[in-house]
Structure 1
Amino acid sequence: MRITDTNRTSRTAPKKAAKGQPAGQKFAVSDDNTTQQVRHHATVEDVGSVDALLALQSVEDPVLAKKKSIKRGHQLLDGLERLKTDLLVGRVSEARLNNMLKMLKNAPNVDDPALQEVIDDIELRVQVELAKLDRL
C-alpha cells in the first residue's frame, strides 16, 4: 500500500469565520426584541396549567391505593407468621415488633369496604398479638 498524501493536518485546520463574525466567536446573541417577545407570551395561564398537572399528580390512583392496601395486608400477615415462628423458638425479635407497630400506625384508608374489612381484621389480630406481648 502506498501513501501519497502526507500533509493531512492541513485538511483539519479550523475553517475561517463567516462574514461579519470575528475569527474566535462561534455564537452571538442579537439585540433584537426576541427575548421581550418570549417574555410577553409567558402568561399566567401557562402557570395555571402547570398547577393543574401538579394537582393531578397528587391525586392517588384508586387501583394503586388498592394494591398498596393489599400489599400492606400481606406484610401484616407475614409479620404475624414470623411472630408465630419466633414464639415457637422462644425468642421474639424487638425489631419485628417495632416494625409491626409502625405498620399499624401508618394505616391508609381504602375505598373498597370489603377490602377495608379484611384489613381491619388483620390489624385487630396484630393488635391482639402485640397486646399479649405488652407492646401495644
Structure 2
Amino acid sequence: MRIDTHNRTSGTGKAGASGRAGARADFVPAGVDGPSRVAGAAPVASTTGIEAILALQAVGGPLEGKKKALRRGRALLDALDEIKADLLVGQVSAERLDALTTMLSQLRERSEPALDAVLDDIDLRVRVELAKLGRYPAL
C-alpha cells in the first residue's frame, strides 16, 4: 500500500489537535479522498426483545413442517418397502405390521384429502394382514 501525504506537517508541537472534532489527518491512503466520519453510537436496545426472538425461534420456519412431512413420508415408504419384500417371500412380520400401524396413526394430519385416502387404504391393508395372523388391532 502506498501512502501519499497531502498535508505536510510544519512541526511536531501540535499535541491534542488530533482529538478535536473536525481535525484533518496527516496522511491519507491512496485511493481515499479523506477521512470518513464515524457514525454516532446507536442506543442499546433493551433486553426485553430477547424473549420475543427466542419465542420466534421456537415456532419454527415455514419449511419446518415440510421437512418434517418429508421425513415421515420417507420413513413410511421405507417401512412399506420392507413389508413388500416380506410379502414377496411369503412371510410377513407381525412386528413390522404393528410398527406400520403405529406410524400410520401418527401421520394423520387431515390436511390433504387425497393423501389421507391413500393412508386409509394402506391402513386397511395392514389391518387385513394382521387379521390373517390372528391379530386385531384396535381402531
TM-score (norm 1): 0.50
* Larger helix share, 1 or 2: 1
The structure number with the bigger radius of gyration is 2
TM-score (norm 2): 0.49
